[in-house]
Amino acid sequence: MQIAVVGSGYVGLVAAACFAEIGHEVICVDNDQRKLEALQRGEIPIHELYLPELLQKHRGNRLRFSSCLREAVQCSSVIFIAVGTPPLKNGDADLSYVEGVAREIAQSLNGYKVVVEKSTVPVYTSEWIRRVMRLASCSGNDFDVVSNPEFLREGTAVTDFLYPDRIVIGADNERTCELVKSLYLPLVNGAYYSHPDRIPEPTKITTGAKMIVTSAKSAELIKHASNAFLAMKISFMNAVANLCESVEADVEEVKAGIGSDRRIGSQFLNAGIGYGGSCFPKDVAAFRSVAQEAGCPILLLDDIIKINADQKKRFVHKVREALWTLRGKRLGVLGLAFKGGTDDIRESPALEIIQQLLNQDSSICAYDPAAQRRAHEVLGNSISYASDPYEVAEGADALLILTDWEDFASLDLGRLKKLLRYPIIIDGRNLYSCEAMKEYGFQYVSIGRPNVELSAPAVFDREAALSAIP
C-alpha cells in the first residue's frame, strides 16, 4: 500500500522506516529542508537501534523523503500525521502543527483518503481534525480519520514497532478500520517474522501482535492513560525508595518482592532520579489538563508530577551531603540523555540536576555515549565534555551517575578509584551493588538503599597498648 507519513521526528521516521520494512511504499514528508537533505544522504538525525540499517536498506526504494505534502497526499491511500505536540505553559498539548497539517491535507485531496493520527494527542483530536478538514472545503465523504497511537520507547523504537504487544486502532466505521488493520497484517499473521533478514526479535517476546479495535476517543485515551500509568509506577517506586531511606530498608529488595507479583510486574519499578524524555512529562501534564477540562480531575496525577520534580532536588541534596559544600567542587557526571539507549535530552533529569549544581558554583565534566552534541546545544560551554568515563573521573571530587547506559554499569572500579580525587560515587540509577562499592573502598550513595561509608581508621588505644607490653 502507498503510505504518507507527515513528520520525520522519532515517531514519524521510525514509523516510515518500519512500514517500508513490512512491505509498504512510504513517502516521509517534512518541511525542514536541511533534515530532508541529510536523510536523503543517508544521515540519521537520532540515535536509535536498527534505524540506520532500515534506512540504508529501504532509502530510495520503498522509502523516500519529500517536502511536498500535496504530492504525498495525492499518491497515497493512507496519510499518517506524526508531527510534534509540545506542551503549552498550562500543560495542554499544542495542536497547532496537527491542525496545520490537517488543513493542508484537506486542500490536497484528489480522492478518498484515510487520515491517521499517530502523534500523541488528547481525546477529541480526531473530531477536531475532521472538523478542520471540512472547514477547509473538503467533503466529509472524501476522507475518514482514525486514531492509531504509538507505543514506542526511545532506544528500542524499531523493535517496539515490529514486535508490538498490541496495535490499537480507533475507528468509527468498519471500512476504515479494515483498511488500517491491513497495514499491520504482516505483524499480526506473523508473515514478517518468517523473513530471514528481519530485524532480530527482542528476548522474551512472542511474535504476532494483538489487535485492539476501539472508538477514536478510546484510542486517544489509551495512549495518555498508558503513559500516565507508567509514570505513576516510576513515581510510586521513588516515593517508596525515599521511605526505605528513612527506615534503613533496601528498595532493591522491596522491588524484588513487589515485582514478583504477576499483577504488578517488575518493569518501570527502578528507583532513580525521575522520569524525563519527550513523552512522560508532556503526556502526564496533558492528561491532567484533559481530565480537569472534562470536569473529572485525577488528583493522583498532581502527586506523580510533584514526586518526579522532588526526586531531582533530593539527589542534589545527596551530593551536597556527601561533599559538605558544592562551591568550588569538581564533579564528574556520567550521562546526559534522559535514559540510556538514546541521544534525547528533552526533559532530561540529568540536565536539570547539572543546572542545579552549576547554580551552586560547582564545575562539571560530563560524558555521554550519544547525547553530548545535543547537550552542548543547551548547556554550551558551562560544562566541559570528556571522551570517555575515565576522563570524567580524573581529579573529580565525586562521580555522579545520572543516566542508565549499560556501559556505565561495568566500569573498571579499581581504575576509577585511582583517578578520583576522593573515592565518592553518587549513583542516581542504582547501577552498582553496595557490596561491590564496599569491596573497592568507595563511599557510595544511591537511591533507596543504605549508604556505603568509608571505613574509619582504627583509634589508637595507648593504655591497651601499654598493658600488652610484657
206-234: per-residue pLDDT in tens?
677 889 999 999 999 999 999 999 999 99
Candidate ranges 23-27, 130-134, 152-156; pick with highest mean pLDDT: 23-27
Residues 383, 278 share a domain:
no
Residues 358, 238 share a domain:
no
Kindly report the average pLDDT of the chain as a whole number.
93
Q: What's the confidence (pLDDT) of residue 457?
A: 46
Residues 322, 272 share a domain:
no
Residues 316, 302 share a domain:
no
Give every CB contact of residue 280 below 8 A, 6+ residues apart in sequence: 227, 230, 231, 234, 347
Residue 469's pLDDT band (cuts 50, 70, 90): low
Whether residue 306 contacts residue 234, with contact meaning beta carbons closer than 8 Å, is answered with no
Whether residue 275 contacts residue 348, with contact meaning beta carbons closer than 8 Å, is answered with no
Q: What's the confidence (pLDDT) of residue 458?
A: 42
Which active-site residues does the annotation give?
279
Residues 164, 22 share a domain:
yes
Cell of 70: 500535496
39-64: per-residue pLDDT in tens?
999 899 999 999 999 999 999 999 99
Candidates 347, 372, 377; CA nearest to 278 is: 347
390-412: per-residue pLDDT in tens?
999 999 999 999 999 999 999 99
216-233 as b/e: b if 16+ CB within 10 A: bbebbbbbbebbbebbbb
Residues 289, 329 share a domain:
no
Residues 304, 188 share a domain:
no
CA–CA separation, 144 vs 177, rounded Å?
10
Domain termination residue (choose one: 193, 214, 235): 214
Residues 315, 416 share a domain:
yes
Q: How many domains does the chain have?
A: 3
CATH number for position 275: 1.10.1040.10
In a domain, 450, yes or no: no
Q: How many CB atoms lie within 10 A of CB 285?
A: 19
378-416 as b/e: b if 16+ CB within 10 A: ebeeebebbeebbbbbeebbbbbbbbbbeebeebebeeb
Residues 230, 335 share a domain:
no
321-360: per-residue pLDDT in tens?
999 999 999 999 999 999 999 999 999 999 999 999 999 9
166-215: per-residue pLDDT in tens?
999 999 899 999 999 999 999 999 999 999 999 998 887 767 788 999 99
Residues 263, 279 share a domain:
yes
Residues 43, 97 share a domain:
yes
Q: What's the confidence (pLDDT) of residue 89?
A: 85
DSSP annotation string for 155-191: TSHHHHHHS-SEEEEE-SSHHHHHHHHHHTHHHHSSS
CATH number for position 382: 3.40.50.720
Candidates 75, 74, 127, 145; CA nearest to 104 is: 74
Q: What's the confidence (pLDDT) of residue 136?
A: 87
Domain that holds residue 437: 311-445
Give every CB contact of residue 51 below 8 A, 6+ residues apart in sequence: 13, 14, 17, 44, 157, 158
